[in-house]
Chains A and B, each alone.
Chain A
């Protein structure tokens, strides 16, 4: 028998109560894993999409909506003229409902721009010109919409035709309906409007110089903001709001977990008052009693963390298969997030055990003689 056996046996003493406490803390940690994983995954998916398009800088107005606000298409030429910029591609990206799907990314791109180049044709063909009334679908979008080559697709009030299925190299690209910018401007009635400019810097530009180039662009462009690719989503108001909501909700769930563990440990100390006094009477130091309570509490947190990570991961995997978001969600279930979640849970356990441990250390060994 080791000291750990005593800790473990303490938790098994009231298996139902321990189990319910584990469920409580697990739900908190599952919320952290699921909500934070999804919001981080959202950011990473967009970053990967830009990486797949070979974009170094994104010029956009990431406001409070999930899609950027439109601005004048003429900005494109002002950005293209800045030294250090090797290529630009105007984009109008929108999140809208299309037929059976309640939320679909529509990515319309400047005809001939570099953002078309990463699209690998899996079947069918690419559009023949900027105004041909056709679209290509990312492979996930085709699956979600149930479309194949030759099928009609309703966008706004126009019926277009699916002519190709593509692999864009990133989930965001593969979940998009892709068409020519001019065609979409015509279909949506947003002539001369764009909301993103993908910018490529001259080859071998360092990260530091990319930031300097962003500053140069921001001097010239007041309608939108230039940020290194990958940072723009994280800086958007909408993403910050989603992220804050995720952490806020998780924090609430974790606080409930803290209270649950603290209640359990206080009950444990209360119920085992005489046992603790006996241990003090037979020579256990107060520091060992404190360690026992804190380790029990930390173990509760650790087990709750592991269970929470499992529940959170499984929940997210189930969410991914739901028709409404299938192909749009790429949650960040990285080992880092899972480690952080378990660490949070252990810390929660230790913090929850501090007061009960202090209470237990105040007990008098003479109480062992009573009863």
Chain B
């Protein structure tokens, strides 16, 4: 389990958060109340369809809640249309299927989020190189995703998520598409990054052994939080 503990300031506050699809016929979130604090490593677990990925989409401003309130550092979170600046500067996202752009090399993929940070081209490249070196891919800088293994692709995706030095990292089943050995390495990397960068980490998983590496485990069922172990008081 990670030793990093919450430093006190609230990063996300969710009050009665609901999300409906298909004009209310699908209730993905049925009123979630939650507070996530600075520096926490939170694992959100639960069976398929319990609403954990929907919750991550709300936290990442990738979609908008149907009702309820969701604030980030005390301010309402913008909707997906206006949330680009928030997504570019405040958070990093790691996807289960890596989602690298196939026509760009590893070092180019890592630079993608940096375009919104107005960094000059040389600065972008240098930063991307440093990040890839930090995840152990210094010899794969100019490889296209098709030439990388699954574990290497996820390392590139992790490096990309750190491009603009976000304070929050959202990871959606980051080891879901990897074999156990690679999954172990990736999880170690995520834990190390959390400890080094002191960032708030929110990780979706259905694997209890992965969730066990977090400092706080939130269990969801049918669109609701059913248990919250070790929540900050």
Instruction: Show the binding face of A for B, using Cβ within 8 Å.
Output: 1-3, 5-6, 9-10, 12-13, 274-275, 278-286, 288, 364-366, 368-369, 371
Contact = CB atoms under 8 A, between A and B. Distances in A.
A282 B87 contact: yes
A280 B172 CA distance: 16
Interface string B31-72: 000000000000000000000010011001111000000000
Q: Describe B's contact surface by its main secondary structure.
A: helix
Given A1-B108, A1-B111, A369-B172, A283 B62 contact: no
A277 to B, nearest CB: 9
Contacts, number: 82
Nearest to B105: A1
A6 B62 CA distance: 23
Contacts of A365: 60-63, 80, 83, 87
14 contacts: A1-B104, A1-B108, A1-B111, A1-B125, A2-B121, A281-B60, A282-B88, A284-B88, A284-B112, A284-B116, A364-B63, A366-B57, A366-B62, A369-B172
B186 interface: no
A288 B112 CA distance: 12
A283 B160 contact: no
Given A284-B116, A369-B62, A369-B172, A275 B121 contact: no
B150 interface: no
Given A13-B103, A366-B57, A281 B87 contact: yes
B26 interface: no
Nearest to B87: A283
Given A1-B121, A281-B93, A369-B62, A288 B99 contact: no
A9 B112 contact: no
B103 A369 contact: no
Interface in B100-120: 101, 103-104, 107-108, 111-113, 115-116
A285 B101 contact: no
Nearest to B108: A1
B84 A286 contact: yes
A296 to B, nearest CB: 13
A13 B125 CA distance: 22
Interface in B128-184: 160-161, 164, 172
B112 A282 contact: yes
B85 interface: yes
Interface string B68-95: 0000000000001101110111000101
B27 interface: no
B97 interface: yes
A282 B80 contact: no
Residue from A5, A283, A364 with most neighbouring chain B CB atoms (10 Å): A283
Given A281-B62, A368-B95, A368-B99, A1 B124 contact: yes
A265 B74 CA distance: 42
Nearest to B58: A366
Nearest to A280: B84
Residue from A12, A274, A275 with most neighbouring chain B CB atoms (10 Å): A275
B154 to A, nearest CB: 14
Contacts of B63: 364-366
